[in-house]
């Protein structure tokens, strides 16, 4: 799928001082090659890299085992492989040196220092002695935060299908005929797969937490890809569904709430509080407004209403080739919102019994404001399942 990323990279890179950039991070590699390789995140001794020159065609290096796969999946045509050895740092550096040496002596090469392991960086710096290596994380962050129309379309589709998958599964809940959290998490995952989503790789998540379990963020660690428990869903409980899935390496990050029966006044108050925070945030999200300002608005609204808001997580983040990336809706991120950014808005509150309540909305920043993507249901109210068949 051509997401028109290459054109944007060329345009942005032309406006920098870099003669080219080298990226080694699994996420950055996918972004620049268009090749989703879900195993990269766990392959810590096997280095891949893209060299993207200011002038000329991008090239990449990889272990020989992955060469034909990358050739198939990537828009980059020049793929060079290296034979692995006990010293893959050297093998990768040598391979990279061959393609980076086209840059003039004294040239500046950007590198994703936020991803590059120190040993690899030091080896590259020593090997490419005539070139100056500088951090290009800012450029990559800017590129990745501002999506192309094609990326927006894909992420919108992923968000919608995920919401649809969650909804499809919730329709199977019958309050008086309970099922276990594990069985239900599988239903959510299967419903997502049925809608063409991929539930693969190290970002994937399918988690259900109800009742006492909903007081924890990860009640079944390390079962992140499947709800691990035999606990049954019970009437009157709060049920939290979390799901992360992808298409071609572009992710959704979803969470929704189900109330197992007519909500109690306390449950209603907590959920309404969450809706109020999402509403003030969405009302404020438009180009030019800083992420920190959105965070401040959410925090102040919570104080004004006496909502038990969990502040330590921040209140949202970007999504793209990973499930959690810049910009961050938090006090410390002064990134101004721009059209084309996609934010997972995620204020998290406690219910009256310290249940963790969250309902993540995927929001696109538009020219005049913002737009919620992917609602299959109006989430201003939680889902309430049928009581009997």
Partner 1 sequence: MVVKTADKHENIICPFDWSDSIVQQGWKGKISTYDENKNLPPQAVIESLTQVLSGLRLTDKKLAVDKSRITTSLFDLMKRKLPNVEWIPCDEQLKALRIEKTKDEVDMLEVAAKHSESGIISALNHLEGTVDVPGYAISEFSERVRVHVYEFGGSGVGHLATMQGAGAQSFYAPPLQLEMLRGGELVRMDVTNHNRGYWSNAGRMAVIGQPSTEQSSAYHDNMTLKDAAIETLLPGKKSKDVFDAVILSSKKERIKFWEGVGVGHGVGVSDREPPYLDYSDNTILKPGMVIALDIYTFGPRKELIHSKDTYEIVERGSRLLSWYRSWDKLYAVTGVRSTH
CA distance linking residue 164 with residue 162, whole number of Å: 5
Please report, as residue ranges, which positions from 87 to 146 form the binding site for partner 1 (by CB under 8 A): 87, 89, 111, 113-122, 135, 137
**Helix, coil or strand: residue 126:** helix
Residue 313 binds partner 1, judged by CB under 8 A = yes
Contacts with partner 1, 328-357, as mask; x by CB under 8 A: x-xxxx------------------------
- Taking CB under 8 A as the criterion, the residue among 315, 319, 349, 379 binding partner 1 is 315
**What is the C-alpha radius of gyration for the chain, rounded to an integer number of angstroms?**
23
Residue 348 — φ and ψ, nearest 5°?
-120, 130
Contact assessment for residue 366 and residue 156, using Cβ atoms and an 8 Å cutoff: no
- Taking CB under 8 A as the criterion, the residue among 13, 26, 33, 36 binding partner 1 is 36
- Measured over the CA atoms of residue 379, residue 380, residue 381 and residue 382, the dihedral's sign is positive
- Taking CB under 8 A as the criterion, the residue among 72, 106, 265, 288 binding partner 1 is 72
Q: Interface with partner 1 by CB under 8 A: which range of 7-15, 40-48, 157-165, 366-374?
A: 40-48
Closest CA to 208 of 191, 320, 197: 191
Closest CA to 319 of 190, 196, 157, 170: 157
- Taking CB under 8 A as the criterion, the residue among 8, 46, 172, 268 binding partner 1 is 46
Task: Decide whether 21 or 116 has the Cβ nearer to partner 1.
Answer: 116
Least spacing, CB of residue 125 vs partner 1, in Å: 9
Task: Decide whether 14 or 83 has the Cβ nearer to partner 1.
Answer: 83
CA distance linking residue 195 with residue 164, whole number of Å: 8
Contact assessment for residue 147 and residue 250, using Cβ atoms and an 8 Å cutoff: no
Task: Decide whether 15 or 119 has the Cβ nearer to partner 1.
Answer: 119
- Mapped to the 3 state alphabet, what secondary structure does 136-166 carry? CHHHHHHHHHCCCHHHHHHHHHHHHHHHHHH
Describe the crossing of helices 26-33 and 5-14 by its angle, rounded to 10 degrees. 100
Please report, as residue ranges, which positions from 287 to 306 form the binding site for partner 1 (by CB under 8 A): 295
CA distance linking residue 194 with residue 204, whole number of Å: 16
CA distance linking residue 144 with residue 121, whole number of Å: 22
Residue 250 — φ and ψ, nearest 5°?
-105, 135
- Taking CB under 8 A as the criterion, the residue among 142, 160, 174, 200 binding partner 1 is 200
Residue 42 binds partner 1, judged by CB under 8 A = yes
- Taking CB under 8 A as the criterion, the residue among 57, 202, 279, 283 binding partner 1 is 202
Residue 368 binds partner 1, judged by CB under 8 A = no
Residue 261 binds partner 1, judged by CB under 8 A = no
Structure tokens at 206: 């399918």
Residue 217 binds partner 1, judged by CB under 8 A = yes
- Taking CB under 8 A as the criterion, the residue among 10, 73, 178, 286 binding partner 1 is 73
Q: How many residues bind partner 1 (CB under 8 A)?
A: 68
Contacts with partner 1, 143-182, as mask; x by CB under 8 A: ----------------------------------------
Least spacing, CB of residue 272 vs partner 1, in Å: 23
112 by Cβ neighbours in 10 Å (0-12 / 13-18 / 19+) ranks as buried
Q: Interface with partner 1 by CB under 8 A: which range of 68-76, 163-171, 173-181, 232-240?
A: 68-76
Least spacing, CB of residue 277 vs partner 1, in Å: 14
Q: Interface with partner 1 by CB under 8 A: which range of 8-16, 38-46, 92-100, 165-173?
A: 38-46
All residues at 6 or more sequence positions from 317 whose CB lies less than 8 Å from its CB, including other chains: 324, 325, 326, 327, 328, 329, 343, 344, 346
Task: Decide whether 37 or 175 has the Cβ nearer to partner 1.
Answer: 37
All residues at 6 or more sequence positions from 138 whose CB lies less than 8 Å from its CB, including other chains: none
**Helix, coil or strand: residue 263:** coil
Structure tokens at 28: 């950055």
- Taking CB under 8 A as the criterion, the residue among 38, 178, 336, 339 binding partner 1 is 38
* Residue ranges that bind partner 1, judged by CB under 8 A: 36-39, 42-46, 63-66, 68-69, 72-73, 81, 83-87, 89, 111, 113-122, 135, 137, 186, 193, 196, 198, 200-202, 216-219, 221-226, 228, 248, 295, 310-315, 328, 330-333
């Amino acid at each position: 799928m051509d997401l028109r990323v290459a054109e944007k990279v060329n345009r942005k890179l032309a406006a920098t001082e870099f003669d080219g950039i080298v990226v080694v991070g699994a996420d950055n590699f996918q972004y620049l090659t268009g090749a989703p390789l879900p195993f990269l995140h766990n392959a810590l001794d096997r280095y891949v890299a893209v060299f993207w020159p200011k002038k000329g065609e991008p090239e990449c290096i990889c272990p020989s085992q992955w060469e034909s796969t990358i050739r198939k999946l990537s828009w980059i045509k020049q793929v060079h492989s290296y034979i692995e050895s006990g010293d893959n740092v050297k093998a990768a550096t040598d391979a990279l040196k061959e393609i980076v040496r086209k840059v003039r002596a004294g040239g500046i090469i950007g590198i994703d220092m936020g991803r590059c392991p120190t040993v690899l960086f030091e080896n590259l710096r020593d090997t490419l002695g005539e070139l100056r290596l500088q951090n290009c994380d800012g450029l990559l962050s800017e590129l990745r935060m501002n999506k192309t129309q094609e990326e927006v379309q894909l992420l919108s589709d992923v968000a919608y299908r995920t919401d649809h998958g969650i909804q499809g599964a919730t329709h199977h809940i019958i309050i008086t005929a309970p099922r276990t959290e594990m069985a239900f998490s599988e239903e959510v995952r299967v419903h997502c797969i049925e809608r063409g989503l991929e539930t693969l790789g190290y970002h994937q998540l399918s988690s259900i937490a109800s009742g006492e379990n909903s007081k924890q963020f990860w009640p079944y660690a390390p079962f992140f890809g499947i709800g691990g428990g035999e606990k049954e869903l019970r009437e009157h409980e709060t049920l939290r569904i979390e799901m992360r899935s992808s298409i071609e390496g572009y992710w959704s990050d979803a969470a929704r709430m189900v109330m197992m029966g007519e909500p109690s006044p306390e449950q209603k108050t907590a959920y309404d509080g969450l809706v109020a925070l999402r509403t003030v945030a969405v009302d404020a999200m438009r180009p030019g407004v800083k992420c920190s300002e959105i965070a401040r608005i959410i925090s102040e609204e919570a104080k004004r209403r006496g909502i038990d808001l969990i502040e330590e997580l921040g209140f949202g983040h970007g999504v793209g080739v990973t499930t959690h990336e810049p910009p961050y809706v938090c006090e410390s991120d002064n990134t101004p919102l721009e059209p084309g950014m996609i934010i997972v808005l995620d204020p998290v509150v406690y219910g009256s019994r310290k249940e963790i309540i969250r309902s993540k909305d995927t929001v696109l920043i538009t020219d005049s404001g913002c737009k919620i993507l992917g609602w299959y249901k109006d989430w201003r109210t939680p889902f309430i399942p049928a009581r009997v068949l």
